[in-house]
């Protein structure tokens, strides 16, 4: 499965009121593994950011003056996300801006080009009702290192979101989660026949045997010859 974690930074809070996207960050996972096939744009919004927005993202109006406009990257963005599942934190906000930008260049709604959109804010509210579920709060709760996040940045936030999502859905990686119809409806107390699972047996190599023997010698010395295997040998 191909999943894209997406985040935007904007000049303000209202797409309908004329605010624009100034940064887009996308991080790709395939089968829950990072691929490093990421996509990142800074964009010239053709207007200045609101003062409050500047405090959030710290991207100056001057820095964006020579960056491409959304119309120049729109096709590359849509080709990149085509057919993927898109994961966004507070998806309504980002989709509202993306749809408005696409409307300006004569393209259809963002969701028409992807297989679906997952909102991790909705997921988090279901899992942690009544608690703070901002991206920072989820990083703290789930043990995701966000120490490098002093300001919001679309690519960094997309990378953090990928880590948060993996932690939110870690149960999907549980051994034998999908056992098929044979175990469907089985209670938690039922035993599972593992005989059909072929597990590889990995033999220790010579270096590992030597390291093991050396460790046993150190344990024997530390216990003054009172290790279980030494006492067992004496008794025999």
Residues with catalytic function: 152
Alpha-carbon dihedral 214, 216, 217, 218, rounded to 10 degrees: 90
DSSP helix/strand/coil, 6: strand
Which are the contacts of 197, defined by CB distance < 8 A and separation ≥ 6? none
Q: Which residues share a beta bridge with 87?
A: 5, 118
Token pair for 187: 């209670």
Q: How many CB atoms lie within 10 A of CB 56?
A: 13
Token pair for 142: 């789930």
Strand 2-10 versus strand 85-88 pairing type: parallel
């Amino acid at each position: 499965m191909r999943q894209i974690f997406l985040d935007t930074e904007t000049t303000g809070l209202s797409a309908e009121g004329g605010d624009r996207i100034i940064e887009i960050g996308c991080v790709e996972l395939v089968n829950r593994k990072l691929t490093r096939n990421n996509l990142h744009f800074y964009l010239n919004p053709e207007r200045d950011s609101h003062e409050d927005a500047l405090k959030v993202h710290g991207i100056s109006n001057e820095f964006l003056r020579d960056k491409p406009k959304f119309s120049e990257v729109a096709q590359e963005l849509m080709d990149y996300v085509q057919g993927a599942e898109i994961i966004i934190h507070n998806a309504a906000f980002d989709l509202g801006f993306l749809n408005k930008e696409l409307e300006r260049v004569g393209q259809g709604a963002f969701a028409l080009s992807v297989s679906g959109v997952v909102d991790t804010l909705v997921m988090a509210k279901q899992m942690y009702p009544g608690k703070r579920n901002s991206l920072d709060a989820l990083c703290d709760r789930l043990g995701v290192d966000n120490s490098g996040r002093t300001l919001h940045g679309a690519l960094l936030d997309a990378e953090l979101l990928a880590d948060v999502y993996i932690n939110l859905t870690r149960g999907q990686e549980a051994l034998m989660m999908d056992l098929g119809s044979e175990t469907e409806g089985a209670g938690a107390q039922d035993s599972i026949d593992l005989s059909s699972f072929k597990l590889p047996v990995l033999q220790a190599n010579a270096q590992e045997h030597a390291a093991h023997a050396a460790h046993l010698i150190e344990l024997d010395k530390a216990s003054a010859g009172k290790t279980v295997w030494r006492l067992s040998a004496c008794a025999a």
